[in-house]
Amino acid sequence: MTAIAAADLAELLSDLVPIGLDEAGATTRLAWTREDEEAAAWFARQSALLGRTMERDPAGNLWAPPDAPPPWWAVGSHLDSVRAGGRFDGALGVAAGFAVAARANVPVAVISFADEEGARFNTPTFGSRALTGRLDVDDALSRIDRHGVALGDAMAEAGVDPDGLASAPEWLERLRGFVELHIDQTRDLAAAGAASAPVARLAARMRLQASLSGRADHAGTTRREERHDALAAAARLIVRADDLAAERPDMVFTAARIEVEPNAPTTVPSATRLWLDARAPEPGDVEAWRAAFAADAAAIAERSGAELELRTAAWSPGTTFPAAVREALGAACGASLDGLVCFAGHDAGVVATQRPAGMILVRNPTGVSHSPAETVSLEDAAAGANALMAALERLA
Ligand SMILES: [Zn+2]
């Protein structure tokens, strides 16, 4: 059986990359849009070229099943993107899936998970969570995009019945395991001189929401001791959260979003809502950070006369991929970066809660992702795809 070559991946990507590509070279393929539909049509064409028929599960995940009884190992990633993203995040993994499925000497399904980025409805890893029964279906269907369109309506428009969403886990029986090839989103592989390497672990991730209530008043005439300034309180909290994160060596922290009311130039802010994102390899570090922050957050807010309500909006303790999959991928890659931790969420991490799963990262010289500056050499990607195929033949 011939190895996968860079030219094979170039051929696969040639019809996919132009979908949602703007003049500035940025890719926008949001879930349940016309561009997403065009990408699904590409998936159907690639399936047909392998003599397979594309199937769509109740969550809108795309499958190219092999001609063998299930369950199968599957390879894939996602075809949706963030707004103004790059051309390889997700797409490269699905293209590699078709290259592997065409050549592997074991039956391999190809999967593209629906709405991995969650860029439109704030529903990241939507498809893999629905498949593994980890999606709060009612909550998801209540989501509204920035144009006022409900997720259920967007799904229906794309030809996927939202009423069937809760039945998606029935399809999990078809899956024996899942491996995903993805661009590196750091310069770790480039720095180590590795074309590809398996991920040991996905980091623990927490999103906190802090709501601060103050009192609107005149910016000039309100004396210091009379102020209830919800934005000044938020500023103090951001600095505190960042300082606490900096005490932990491998932790990253982002004050990612803020809403201010009334957001007027001459009024003391009456309310702010803050979204705080904290990640670290081990869940204990994130939990300790949260505990330290929560312990004095209310007193910090009180210094600006504001009242604080803190809640955990999202929490994942992270995922350690099973040793058997990691070892098979590591042996096939040749270069195993010991204990490589990925700080982003991925479908493979969600699938790993229910089935053996793993990931290979491919060197990204810029380390940049979610941007048109994302780059990869297709030689590196082909090396990664061949490693993935060799590992699958061993695992199956
Ligand atoms: Zn991705």
DSSP letter string, 66-132: -SSPSPEEEEEEE----TTB-SSTTHHHHHHHHHHHHH-SS-EEEEEETTSS-TTTS-TTHHHHHHT
Q: What spacing in Å lies between the alpha carbon of 267 and ligand 1's midpoint? A: 42
Q: What spacing in Å lies between the alpha carbon of 106 and ligand 1's midpoint? A: 26
pLDDT of residue 334: 85
pLDDT of residue 88: 97
* The dihedral formed by the CA atoms of 293, 298, 300 and 306, expressed in degrees to the nearest 10: 140
Phi (first) and psi of residue 314, to 5 degrees:
-155, 145
* Dist CA 43 CA 25 (whole Å): 22
CB 13 within 8 A of CB 92: yes
Phi (first) and psi of residue 319, to 5 degrees:
-135, 130
Closest CA to 251 of 282, 209, 274: 282
Q: What spacing in Å lies between the alpha carbon of 183 and ligand 1's midpoint? A: 8
Q: What spacing in Å lies between the alpha carbon of 113 and ligand 1's midpoint? A: 10
Q: What spacing in Å lies between the alpha carbon of 69 and ligand 1's midpoint? A: 29
pLDDT of residue 1: 62
CA–CA–CA angle 199, 44, 359 (5° rounding): 5
Phi (first) and psi of residue 20, to 5 degrees:
80, 10
Q: Which two tokens stand for residue 51?
A: 């003599």
Q: What spacing in Å lies between the alpha carbon of 138 and ligand 1's midpoint? A: 25
Q: What spacing in Å lies between the alpha carbon of 31 and ligand 1's midpoint? A: 13
Note the pTM of the prediction, 2 decimals.
0.92
Q: What are the tens digits of pLDDT across the range 211-226?
A: 999 999 999 999 999 9
Q: What spacing in Å lies between the alpha carbon of 100 and ligand 1's midpoint? A: 19
pLDDT of residue 338: 78
Q: What are the tens digits of pLDDT across the range 306-360?
A: 999 999 988 999 999 999 999 999 999 986 677 899 999 999 999 999 999 999 9
Q: What spacing in Å lies between the alpha carbon of 269 and ligand 1's midpoint? A: 37
Q: Which two tokens stand for residue 152?
A: 């259920």
DSSP H helices in 70-218: 91-103, 126-131, 137-141, 151-157, 188-192
CB 236 within 8 A of CB 377: no
Q: What spacing in Å lies between the alpha carbon of 250 and ligand 1's midpoint? A: 22
Q: What spacing in Å lies between the alpha carbon of 97 and ligand 1's midpoint? A: 14
Q: What spacing in Å lies between the alpha carbon of 346 and ligand 1's midpoint? A: 6
CB 365 within 8 A of CB 185: no
* Dist CA 230 CA 306 (whole Å): 5
CB 73 within 8 A of CB 396: yes
Q: Which residue ranges of the chain lie beneath pLDDT 70?
A: 1, 335-336
- For tokens 């929401």, what's the residue? 209
Q: What spacing in Å lies between the alpha carbon of 182 and ligand 1's midpoint? A: 7
